[in-house]
Structure 1
Amino acid sequence: MNKVVVSAAEAVADIPSGSSIAVGGFGLVGVPELLIAALLDQGATDLETISNNCGTDGFGLGILLEQGRIRRTVSSYVGSNKEFARQYLGGELEVELTPQGTLVERLRAGGAGVPAFFTPAGVGTQVAEGGLPQRYDGAGGVALASAPKETREFDGVTHVLERGIAADFALVHAWKGDRYGNLVYRASARNFNPPAAESGRLTIAQVEHLVEPGELTPEDVHTPGIHVQRVVVVGPVTVGIERRTVRS
């Protein structure tokens, strides 16, 4: 039952090239940055990432992106990464854009064993009707576009069918964790971490503080240990400022 491993390098050592990886975080907050750095050092490539945003330039998933380690990504927001834009428009990166709430539910559903669900989000747009560019050809044309999705009416409202996501691995960041893998997130660092943790067939959590079993009361646990297979203690982390603005 002791799921603690000694280092981030050991925790990600068996992630093979070609894996799909759900990753927690939103902007610079709640990002499992030390696990991502260890994965960069480990050398896995041809990865598919599922995350709210694919990191920022020089941080988080952005460091894997810069080294050409990510083949495909499923994300809801991609506006903070110039290298992402360059690779996407240049035909080097395949991108599946998904509404933010839909992405959360796709991760949660996949972790719960639900293969698909209907939602009104995206109806009447290319999300449902197809045609969203997923990969460009590098010359301004579209090499791959999204396909139309099934729609159905419930109580007079049209809904679109979305597939659940069960990733091969998940990388998450938590404030506290115990040796059983029970996790507690702090404030807005909770964000995408709980559904990402549920989605992974093998979930690895970096935690700032390790506590002993029994110290976390059941009502305080955000992610039960059944969803977590490995825990790495990284100590307190400092969150950067994504956009610094000052008065003129």
Structure 2
Amino acid sequence: MPYDPSAFPPFAVTVDLVVLTVRRHALCALLVRRGEPPYQGRWALPGGFVRIDEDLEAAAARELAEETGLQVQDPGSGHVGAHLEQLATYGDPRRDPRMRVVSVAYLVLAPDLPSPTAGGDAHSVRWAQVDTLSTPGGGPVRDGDRPAPLAFDHDRILADGVERARSKIEYSSLATAFCPPEFTVGELRRVYEAVWGVALDPRNFHRKVTGTPGFLVPTGGTTTRQGGRPAQLFRAGGATLLNPPMLRPEI
């Protein structure tokens, strides 16, 4: 059968970002209020169209910087910064009312990120606690007392990103991406508690993380930033997979 270009109409590619951080001991996601149609005035994930001359990760970093003022660190720089990984691809033909749009979503994890600054086509931007935004099934965002789903299919993308983070910290060292370069076991425990939404026994947790080969490395320093007695400081070890894993408690 000969190739027929009309059978393959053009479509656009976008990137969407699930940006998660831990602020005030709660897992928070970055949202932007759309300043243009469609869904003008609705909250959404940061993102936008991929330019003809850029790859997907470059587009993700550019959109994050343009809409929020936040930067994704270069993994090859040796600097401990935001973790960036591809999450999933979303291609429902009806996901964007403008045209056929396929979106490649990215998950960004970082320590307590600063307050973002709106830019590009974002009217405003904010951090919002995940437990007020969505459920694994894609629950509603509440804007005041009025239920307001996120624009496009972003409820689903957000839920997928949160579940990716929750599951990956079970078997990988990804939880340290939410921590500063040097951190205490208590600070790491609060990351697990914020991401999983559960309270963990401090002694049990300390025994597990310090006894997992390659997970944590003592720096030799201490800190009193949590108050009380000086606490030992650690940095992330070389292990990427945890053996045994840190299993999520059943709720």
TM-score for both structures, normalised by structure 1? 0.29
Higher relative contact order, chain-length normalized (CA < 8 Å, sep 6+)? 1
TM-score for both structures, normalised by structure 2? 0.29
Larger Rg: 2
